Amino acid sequence: MAASASTTLSLPEEELTLTVKWSGKEYTVRVCGDDSMGELKRRICEVTNVLPKRQKLLYPKVLGSKLADDSVLLSQLPLKSSLKMTMIGTIEDDLIVEEVDSPEVVDDFELGNDEAVNIHVKDKEVNKQKLRRRIDQYKIELKNPCREGKKLLVLDIDYTLFDHRSPAENPLELMRPYLHEFLTAVYAEYDIMIWSATSIKWVELKMGQLGVLSNPNYKITALLDHLAMITVQSDSRGVFDCKPLGLIWAHFPEFYSSRNTIMFDDLRRNFVMNPQNGLIIKPFKKAHSSRDNDQELVKLTQYLLAIAELDDLSTLDHNYWERFTEDNVKRRRHV
């Protein structure tokens, strides 16, 4: 039920249309009480192209510290449709500098696969509602057609395919070893999507610089950015963003599902909404000193091609992917 123009947003299920003033123009964004400040900033980014971390929000009678805290739920703030929010921020043109200057992301799930947290987050009704809203709001633009009968591989960029924090004169110096060989090999069995927690402009720029979008031996199906993510909350881990694969499955149900999808990410929390489909990849950092010894993509190529024969990938425990062998495939096919 939508809140009236004079009603404070106080209940999680209430919807509110906010007016945001920026650069001499007014923009409208729709939010719900169970959305966080981080989600509001993402909505503002959709209409202004100012990245969330570049936004400073001002609102009558609300302290700036609360507006700056992305984990604060909107239902905890006295927001009203009758009042206008002011946003100060600049569209970032220097995308490379933007990423290098960004703070290091620490994965608070990295100490282990917290099964209780995963189940709680993915099954919580409020998070399912957020996913449904994101499905309605976010459009996935295909760069190449989905292929019938292929499985789906979803790849992160930072620390998965590319060391985004080390300095280099040429981006190719920071590319993970065997990237093109890896993508060429797995393309035979998998459609490939790239999903980064950054802006779509940066995703396109970086993938273009690495030659991923123009390689003649494989094709990228789609690129997704931070606007496709949702903000979720767990009692033990707090508020954080994640990448719900259900968004892709809802847009292309005739091609992809939990049965044929696998996601690589160096942050376990990114696939908390679909833990059975996520594989935590060893982060690729300090490229100049580690690239001669990094064999992660070589080993993962063997794993992906081995499991491609299986009908249902969601039955696998990707935490133990390095122990998987051809014999495992044969046994599972005869079960």
CATH number at residue 241: 3.40.50.1000
Residue at 8 is within a domain: no
Three-state DSSP at 30 gives: strand
- Give the CATH number of the domain where residue 85 resides: 3.10.20.90
Residues 60 and 125 in one domain: no
Residue 185 is given by DSSP the state H
Task: Give the pLDDT score at 335.
Answer: 53
Three-class SS state of 104: coil
- Say yes or no: 235 and 270 in one domain: yes
Q: Is residue 273, in this structure, part of any structural domain at all?
A: yes
* Arithmetic mean of pLDDT, 1-23: 65
pLDDT digits (tens, 9 = 90+) for 235-293: 777 788 899 999 999 999 999 999 999 999 999 999 999 999 999 999 999 999 998 99
What's the confidence (pLDDT) of residue 332? 59
| Contact residues for 334 (Cβ-Cβ < 8 A; gap 6+) | none
Tokens found for residue 205 = 């720029």
Please report the pLDDT score of residue 142 as a whole number.
98
Note down the domain range covering 41: 15-91
Residue with tokens 């797995």: 186
Has residue 99 got a pLDDT over 80?
A: no
Write down which residue in 29, 57, 91 finishes a domain. Answer: 91
d(CA 281, CA 156): 10
Per-residue pLDDT reduced to its tens digit, 109-141 = 543 455 555 667 888 888 999 999 999 999 999
Same domain, 101 and 86: no
10 domain residue, yes or no = no
Asked whether residue 2 is domain-assigned, the answer is no
Q: Which residues touch 176 (CB under 8 Å, ≥6 apart)?
A: 160, 161, 162, 163, 284, 287, 291, 294, 296, 297
Q: Which long-range contacts (CB under 8 A, 24 or more apart) does 308-312 make?
A: 308/151, 308/189, 308/190, 309/333, 311/259, 312/259, 312/260
Distance CA 289, CA 286 (A): 6
Give the confidence band of 330 by pLDDT, cuts at 50, 70, 90.
Answer: low
For residue 208, being part of any structural domain is answered with: yes
Pair (117, 67) in one structural domain = no
Instruction: Kindly report, residue by residue over 35-94, the tens digit of the pLDDT.
Output: 889 889 988 998 898 988 889 999 988 888 889 888 888 888 998 888 899 999 888 654
Whether residue 277 is found in the same domain as residue 135? yes
Strand partners, 162: 158, 175
Ranges 47-51, 223-227, 317-321: which has the least confidence = 47-51
Please tell me the pTM assigned to this model.
Answer: 0.79
End-to-end CA distance of the chain: 49
Q: What pLDDT is stored for residue 325 in this prediction?
A: 65
Q: Mean pLDDT, to the nearest integer, of 146-166?
A: 96
Query: From CA 158, how far away is CA 165, in angstroms rounded?
Result: 9
The string of DSSP letters for 128-148 reads HHHHHHHHHH--PPBSS---T
Hey, which residues does 77 pair with through a beta bridge?
A: none
Asked whether residue 144 is assigned to any structural domain, the reply reads yes
The DSSP H or E segment spanning 28 is strand 25-32
Is position 131 within any domain? yes
d(CA 158, CA 155): 10
Q: Compute how many other C-beta atoms are within 10 angstroms of the C-beta atom of residue 270.
A: 26
How buried is residue 238: exposed, middle or buried, by Cβ count under 10 Å (0-12/13-18/19+)? exposed
- Decide which of 44, 71, 91 is a domain's last residue: 91
Q: Which of 42, 70, 91 is the last residue of a domain?
A: 91
**pLDDT value of position 123:** 87
Q: Is the pLDDT of residue 143 over 50?
A: yes
Task: Mark whether 31 and 126 lie in a shared domain.
Answer: no
Same domain, 113 and 166: yes
273 and 230 share one domain? yes
* 196 and 259 together in one domain: yes
Rounded CA separation 204/225 (Å): 10
Please give the pLDDT value at position 96. 43
- Answer left, alpha or beta for residue 132, where phi above 0 means left and psi between -120 and 50 means alpha: alpha
80 and 185 both lie in a single domain = no
| Total residue length of the chain | 335
| Domains: count for the chain | 2
Joined together, the tokens standing for residue 257 give 């599902």
Give a yes or no: residue 5 inside a domain: no
pLDDT at residue 103 above 70? no
pLDDT of residue 46: 86
For residues 101 and 87, membership in a common domain is answered with no
Same domain, yes or no, for 31 and 153? no
Return the closest-CA partner of residue 52 out of 79, 20, 83, 84: 20
